[in-house]
């Protein structure tokens, strides 16, 4: 058990009448922010502790490599995970709009039309979600705004590369 000098901030308990200009929350960069879990490719999943500095570094690095800006609309397809936190920071720190889509509630079949309707420019997928998403595509879909498809958080195989080649003609980050 890791002890932290910072308590848990429960969003539901925040007094909405308080000004948001300076919440006077001071968090050291070395305080743990989240845990990333490995896929377990070695036979046993492991949790990797990530502090605030590392989380910020990951978000800034992703923003730099994608050249994200205030003109981008970034899909948030995962919730409640460390990857979702990183993607959220990545979008917001670069001035982009963060657009959530609940694949469990809405279904993967609706995702293609949502990407087009919402003019999503950057879409990060887990490998398994990308595979499921591609299984719903006919090849007639157009994603005119989409400029980056990022596939990761799990092993990417040649079959996913082939799916990408079949359905997308844009930049891809694996």
CATH code of the domain covering residue 96: 3.40.50.980
Q: What is the pLDDT of residue 145?
A: 92
CA 152 to CA 145: how far, in whole Å? 21
Q: What is the pLDDT of residue 9?
A: 62
In a domain, 92, yes or no: yes
In a domain, 34, yes or no: no
Q: What is the pLDDT of residue 174?
A: 45
In a domain, 142, yes or no: yes
Q: What is the pLDDT of residue 12?
A: 74
What is the extent of the structural domain holding 125? 67-173
In a domain, 49, yes or no: no
Is residue 22 classed as helix, strand or coil in its secondary structure? Answer: coil
Positions of the chain with pLDDT under 50: 1-4, 171-174
In a domain, 94, yes or no: yes
In a domain, 48, yes or no: no
In a domain, 31, yes or no: no
Count of structural domains within the chain: 1
Q: What is the pLDDT of residue 75?
A: 93
Q: What is the pLDDT of residue 1?
A: 42
In a domain, 29, yes or no: no
pTM above 0.85, yes or no: no
Q: What is the pLDDT of residue 3?
A: 47
């Amino acid at each position: 058990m890791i002890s932290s000098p910072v308590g848990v901030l429960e969003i539901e308990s925040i007094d909405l009448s308080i000004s948001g200009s300076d919440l006077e929350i001071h968090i050291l960069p070395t305080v743990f922010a989240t845990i990333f879990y490995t896929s377990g490719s070695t036979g046993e999943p492991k949790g990797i502790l990530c502090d605030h500095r590392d989380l910020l570094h990951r978000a800034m690095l992703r923003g730099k490599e994608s050249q994200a800006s205030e003109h981008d609309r970034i899909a948030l397809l995962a919730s409640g995970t460390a990857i979702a936190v990183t993607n959220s920071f990545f979008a917001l720190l670069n001035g982009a709009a963060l657009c959530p889509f609940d694949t469990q509630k809405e279904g993967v079949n609706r995702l293609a039309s949502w990407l087009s309707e919402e003019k999503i420019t950057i879409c990060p997928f887990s490998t398994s979600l990308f595979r499921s998403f591609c299984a719903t595509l006919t090849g007639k879909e157009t994603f005119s705004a989409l400029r980056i498809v990022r596939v990761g958080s799990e092993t990417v195989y040649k079959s996913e590369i082939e799916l990408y080649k079949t359905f997308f003609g844009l930049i891809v980050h694996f």
